[in-house]
Structure 1
């Protein structure tokens, strides 16, 4: 993909490799060989990077997420502003399948499980990861793999006002965090139409643009 998708003032997300969380930043300098970005930050904290550290840089363009990996060349100050310098990438990677672009978030959610007597059991928790194919749900209560669940996804304000989508899903994995006792549950959407999937994907890209695209 063309590296011309990079420009001054572009909002980006920077993650320390191999598995660091994404922090917000902005491209402040750009030429044919290098780019410089402001110190990445999140929730009032800065991502501490040094010369030689490897990072992943991501940004949104239209309906795709682009990324590249680089090694910090230097740290410098310009007009008393700290900048980190990377080689300008020759190629950008593009996530080809929109369905699998994932949105990290914190969204309160209640999932409902049908009981044998016809009533429903309600489990409260939060969504921490959303894609067009499913979501990751965190709660204090575990459920068996292959359990069928139902929930209502609030998809924010779209072209037709506030959107809420009733979705069915199937639990395909469960992980218990021994340190926090949190239960992480992977839920795959089941029986949703392509139109409904597109609603979810549209919400994901609206949220991504808010985070890492220019106004």
Structure 2
């Protein structure tokens, strides 16, 4: 798969998928590292150059996991990956990356969308909640207000798409409440989203598809969502290999 879409010398971006401590003691957050493809070793592994900042080498730790984007001439491609080795060869510092998800075409300003079918409950935010959000003031979501059932059909670190018999207006802020697996247990997420677009399904009148962008989502929650997507992708890839 790699050799069909990725060329040696192509630019690569790495984005850490989880918090952890590197050898320097610095925390790996969502910082983006720049690199280049050195050699494609197989359809699952490749060598890339060790990232640098100015003249300083960034020693990314073995077994750390990353969202990796390849910049080809006319397209971008994305996958999840893991560092399996690192060494110096011919005075070049090398990282050996193993793909842990399928390689997919990627749109620069979007996060990878994971197709799913997840139950969700939603409601419009109250005026007081919206005012607090817009002023960046501390606030708490009002409990006990009625929620409408929905189904998430794809989710990413930047937003989600869901179906509901309730129509939410474009531009409105809504509460999205759903559960994801985290460390093997179900965790509840109450996030605020801004409705970007709404359309009624042609084959299911009275059912509406909504595209939502997260609103003021904190970094930790975003990373947990990305981590969930990564784990589900890895499970799917493992099943494909077994079949």
- TM-score with structure 1 setting the length: 0.54
- Larger RCO (CA within 8 A; separation ≥ 6): 1
Q: Which residue of 1 aligns with 2:195?
A: 171
In the alignment, the residues of structure 1 paired with residue 202 and residue 107 of structure 2 have an alpha-carbon distance, to the nearest angstrom, of 36
Q: CA deviation at 1:153?
A: 2.8
Higher strand residue share: 1
- Point out where structure 2 has 5 or more consecutive residues left out of the alignment: 1-5, 7-39, 46-77, 83-98, 129-141
8 Å CA contact retained: 1:64, 1:95 = no
Query: Does the alignment pair 1:195 with 2:220?
Result: yes
Please state whether the residue corresponding to 1:108 is helix, strand or coil.
strand
Task: Quickly say closer, same or farther: Cα 1:97–1:196, change in 2 above 3 A.
Answer: farther
**8 Å CA contact retained: 2:114, 2:154:** yes
In structure 1, the gaps of 5 or more residues are 8-57, 68-92
CA RMSD of aligned residues (A): 3.3
Distance of 2:221 and 2:126 partners within structure 1: 26
The reply to whether residue 125 of structure 1 matches residue 150 of structure 2 is yes
2:171 matches 1:146: yes
1:33-58 Cα deviation digits (max 9, x unpaired): xxxxxxxxxxxxxxxxxxxxxxxxx9
TM-superposed deviation, 1:98: 10
Q: CA deviation at 1:155?
A: 1.5
Q: Are residues 1:212 and 2:237 paired?
A: yes
Question: How far does residue 180 in structure 1 lie from its aligned partner after superposition?
Answer: 1.1
Q: Distance in 2 between matches of 1:103 and 1:149?
A: 21
Report the Cα offset of residue 162 of structure 1: 3.4
Give the counterpart of 2:161 among 136, 155, 168: 136
The residue aligned with 1:4 is 42
Give 1:139 deviation, angstroms: 0.9
Q: Measure the CA separation in 1 of the matches of 2:44 and 2:121.
A: 40
Whether the aligned pair in 2 keeps the contact of 1:65 and 1:101 (CA below 8 Å) is no
Instruction: Count residues with an aligned counterpart.
Output: 139
The equivalent residue for 2:120 is 109
d(CA) in 2 for partners of 1:139, 1:126 = 7
Contact 1:114 1:120 in 2 (8 A): no
Q: How does 1:25-104 map to 2 (within 5 A)?
A: 61-62=81-82, 65-67=101-103, 95=106, 100-104=111-115
Q: Deviations over 1:75-130 (max 9, x none)?
A: xxxxxxxxxxxxxxxxxx67597961111000011012135698845221100000
Following the alignment from structure 2 to structure 1, what is the Cα–Cα distance between the partners of residues 112 and 81?
13
CA distance in 2, matches of 1:152, 1:3: 43
> Greater shift after overlay, 109-118 or 194-203?
109-118
